[in-house]
A and B are shown apart, each in its own frame.
Chain A
Amino acid sequence: MKHLRSIEEIGTDGVLRLLDLTDTMVEVNRRPNPRVPALRGKTVCNLFFEDSTRTRLSFETAAKRLSADVMTFTVGTSSVNKGESLRDTIETVAAMGVDAFVVRHGSSGVPWQVSRWTTASIVNGGDGWHGHPTQALLDAYTVRTALGRTGGLDGLRVAIVGDIRHSRVARSNVEVFTALGADVTLVAPATLLPPAPPAPTTADLDEVIEKVDVLYLLRMQQERMQEALVPSLREYSARFGLTAQRAHRLPEHALVMHPGPMNRGVEILVDPAELPGAVITQQVTNGVAVRMAVLFELLGAGRDVPTESTP
């Protein structure tokens, strides 16, 4: 595997390989000293053109636990607009000797552009509305472990609720869950769906809530109100929020997930700590292991992960 720019480009086999590799990384992370020399001598550059503290910290932690050198470059898109071009930035940083770029950008497709200007591996850390494949992998891993599954997720019923249209998380999650055999339903008003939705849709959360194995809530952003996509946050909560009443109607085994950061009182109106099926913290924990698996898969050719903690 050279790049991870989308779930599509690695296919079902690639997804399964990364999920299995994540098991190994979870084991590493449980050690008293969760650090292995697997990527010693490799350099990973986190190139964040859009602010995202949690994703950046997760990638930094993952790279460090594999003993890679880490550079982090955080730039506001506006400052790049005023000065150096994207291409010049990439070529300059690449000239310092980088084995993998983790790219986060507010515009869809930037990881593909970057891969035309460097020979380094590219990991998509989130691009525009398009994709966030490591988030999708960590979500799939979280579901797989929480439900005690191995292999795929055949027949699993997943409902993704909220602003699908503008969501990189939704796009990648549909790809990963579908690749693993799950049945995905998108729950949103048509204003928040892409013109050609990638999965069956409904605008009625109450119709599906009793029939899901996974309820995936997306973050509802304030600025959508100004575009008349929904009348108000209050209206959104009433129609699509996870209220206490709806939480009671969830099947007992159902998982509740959220990519964070949560808007409490908007898409989630109950305390997740009181939801037995909530696995939101596990998502974050698994994020580090999944990103370790990704970096190792891309950069660790011919190497292995030591089975014991190194001093």
Chain B
Amino acid sequence: MLIRGGRVLDQAGERRLDVLLDGGRIAAVGTDFDADDLDVEDPDADVKVLDAGGCVVSPGFVDLHAHLREPGREDAETIETGCRAAVLGGYTAVVAMPNTEPAQDERGVVEFVRRQGERAGLCEVLPAGCITIGRAGETLAPFFELVAAGVRIFTDDGNGVQDPLLMRRAMEYSLGLDMVLAQHCEVARLTHGAVMHEGRCCSELGLPGWPALAEELMVHRDLELARLTGASLHLLHLSTVGSVDLVRRAKSDGVAVTAEAAPHHFCLTDEQLRGYDAVFKVNPPLRTGDDVAAIKTGLADGTIDAIATDHAPHTSADKERPIDEAPPGMLGLETALGVALAELELPLVDIIGLLSWKPAAIAGVADRHGTNVEPGNPANLVVFDPAATWSVRPGMLASRSRNTPYVGRQLRGKVRHTIFQGVPVVVDSTVLSGANGRIRSFAEDRT
């Protein structure tokens, strides 16, 4: 298969190249291929030539933070519908958060999630593991067993690990294992009942506030624990000025920390809550314009390593409950690129890095995702039009849920094609159903 007429953009820079794929890998790059003369033996390829005119061809995106809801809440999302959303957003790998029911705290659940991802066959699903059993913050999950099952990222996301001694033990015990501890930073005693950011807006709306301090205290605690123990730490969905400052300082001191930010935290503010629409309720909450600016600065100066969606599907019934009872979270997989290109004033290559090779390194998949568009590398690619503007209609989304906060908003940058393991899974912004069952198992790859 040939990807023709695009601008290749990766860590090696930008060049005009056609890309020839074969056997799941990039066979050749050049400018003088003639499609009619192609002698590519690929019986699965229904599509021989993908037009990339006006588009960027780059390594596929890697999402460090998606809630795919399966097992447990298949009414909100399944791994298959989540993967459809992911590939429409240009992702070729997605980390599946472990707050499923049951939680991903043992080998069986982790393997189930991975297998469901393979069955969907659209992108690679990387199950995260829990830090503590049942995410209850009491007993450490079996890190060694889960690492052996291919887990790299460990988190109790949705909950922060409250007990500082337990978090210290988790960090110490993680040493020597190929893993990273990913913290949801929230001191729960300071956010009891909180619906939105604590500030002027929550005061006017009569809603309990979630103070920035509750995030920053745990960011500070865990940075210091990481400094003390030498463990690898990743901080999930940073949302405040103070958090960005703390991480910047720790990085300059050489602490082994990485951090991510979600698109909604560099795009939307707490003012969105004024209509009491729970679609805008998210954890950590939408904050102020100053916080949005700080997140953007952090993304620009390397303090924040990755854009991660925190894709969190919820049914309309759940989101229509009174706002203090409605669950937090918003969709993100299909809109992340469009929000990033619309909101961030960064060179395109930097934005792609934040979506692709930088998170690939954190997720431990840099051998197969985020790799340069060069012969011999795995063909996990995205082709997107960086200038296309579009606006979101909830009904057009592939996710089973509808809780997107971007309805009616103009986004910039639209995924045209996504190629996973050399197979086009999205062509002309449409998911190809034929991909099911044709994707090789990564379990086989690892052995």
A→B interface (CB under 8 Å):
81, 85-87, 105-110, 112-113, 127-131, 168, 171, 194-198
Quick check: is B146 within 8 A (CB to CB) of the other chain?
Answer: no
Cβ contact within 8 Å between B276 and A108 = yes
Whether A85 touches B207, Cβ cut-off 8 Å, given contacts A109-B322, A109-B323, A110-B322, is no
**Nearest B residue to A168 by beta-carbon distance?**
B206
Residue-wise interface mask of B (28-70) relative to A, using a CB-CB cutoff of 8 A (1 in contact, 0 not)? 0000000000000000000000000000000000000000000
**Nearest A residue to B317 by beta-carbon distance?**
A85
* 29 A-B contact pairs sorted by A residue (CB < 8 Å): A85-B317, A85-B320, A85-B321, A86-B321, A87-B317, A87-B320, A106-B322, A107-B322, A107-B325, A108-B206, A108-B276, A108-B323, A109-B207, A110-B276, A113-B276, A113-B322, A113-B323, A127-B206, A129-B206, A130-B206, A130-B207, A171-B204, A195-B202, A195-B209, A195-B211, A196-B199, A196-B204, A197-B203, A198-B203
- The distance in angstroms between the C-alpha atoms of A128 and B204, with both chains bound, is 12
B27 to chain A, nearest CB (A): 54
A56 to chain B, nearest CB (A): 19
Give the B interface residue count (CB, 8 A).
Answer: 23
**Nearest A residue to B201 by beta-carbon distance?**
A196
Those of B182-213 within 8 Å (CB) of chain A: 195, 198-200, 202-209, 211
Cβ contact within 8 Å between B200 and A196 = yes
Quick check: is B347 within 8 A (CB to CB) of the other chain?
Answer: no
Interface of A is mostly: loop
Whether A112 touches B321, Cβ cut-off 8 Å, given contacts A171-B206, A194-B203, A195-B198, is no
- The distance in angstroms between the C-alpha atoms of A86 and B320, with both chains bound, is 8
- The distance in angstroms between the C-alpha atoms of A130 and B317, with both chains bound, is 23
**Nearest B residue to A174 by beta-carbon distance?**
B204
- The distance in angstroms between the C-alpha atoms of A3 and B247, with both chains bound, is 47
What residues of A have a CB within 8 angstroms of the CB of B323 in the complex? 107-109, 113
What residues of A have a CB within 8 angstroms of the CB of B202 in the complex? 194-195
12 additional contacts (CB under 8 A) given A194-B206, A195-B203, A198-B204: A85-B321, A108-B276, A112-B276, A127-B206, A128-B207, A129-B208, A130-B206, A168-B206, A171-B206, A195-B200, A197-B203, A198-B203
**Nearest A residue to B197 by beta-carbon distance?**
A195
What residues of A have a CB within 8 angstroms of the CB of B200 in the complex? 195-196
Cβ contact within 8 Å between A131 and B206 = yes
**Nearest B residue to A105 by beta-carbon distance?**
B322
Quick check: is B106 within 8 A (CB to CB) of the other chain?
Answer: no
